[in-house]
Amino acid sequence: MSEEVLTSEENGILVVTINRPEAKNAMSKAAAEGIAAAMDRLDSDDTLRVGILTGAGGTFCSGMDLKGFLRGESPSVEGRGFGGIVQKPPQKPLIAAVEGYALAGGLELMIACDLVVANVAAKFGIPEVKRGLVAAAGGVMMLPDQIPERIAMELALTGEFIGAQRAYELGMINRVVDGPALDAAKELAAKIVANGPLAVRVSKQIMRESRAWPMDERYARQTQLIAPVFVSEDAREGSAAFAEKRAPKWQGK
């Protein structure tokens, strides 16, 4: 994996760090490929249950590397899109831990994650129009699904930033913390790791996909996905652990 992306793991959590602090973690082709490889690892390794995406040096991601753009470089991965995740996030939960700026492609990386924890000083925006560009890595499509449409429109057309508290009030992020966002993200990840892995994965899948399902097919499609969960060993273990007043021992099957 590229040194532009670092990984570490602990207690079922894979921490993926964009490591280009000298460029405010602007997204390069190598970094996008590194993130994509980390997401493949997250999904394929049964010992890993949750991912955290963050940035080195006090910034999450300042967007596309414009110097690379001028050289003709695209910081995307075929089949996964910008940053290796915006078109195809991992099947397992992914938390963004945001310090500093999450701007342009950086915001698009963030909103492709399932949950977001941010330091109180963080700033958010899609300022592409200020450079004659469009937030094409999901910003103008995905942001209106996550916050009120008129606010998303304002952000897209003015290119202005908002702070962490405002982002929290809009529902763009889950938690605002005074200390390191990564520490708080690990605490949130631990709460997910404590739960049944099959149930977590399918819950995410349904929440992500069901909005595109025809209304008259929703329950039938949901049943197809949840039926294997309800007859799994984990379902029996969860019920037994509750009855016996002990922590469950998940097998992921």
**Which alpha helices (DSSP H) does the chain contain, by range?**
29-44, 66-70, 105-112, 139-146, 149-158, 164-170, 181-193, 197-209, 218-230, 233-243
Contacts of 176 (CB under 8 A, 6+ apart): 118, 119, 120, 164, 165, 168
Work out the number of other CB atoms within 10 angstroms of the CB of residue 214. 8
For residue 108, indicate whether it is catalytic: yes
Distance of CA 194 to the CA centre of its chain: 19
Q: What are phi and psi of 147, to 5 degrees?
A: -135, 165
Beta partners for 117?
97, 175
Selecting among 33, 99, 108, 187, the annotated active-site residue is: 108
d(Cα 51, Cα 9) in Å, to the nearest integer?
9
Selecting among 4, 33, 99, 128, the annotated active-site residue is: 128
Catalytic residues: 108, 128
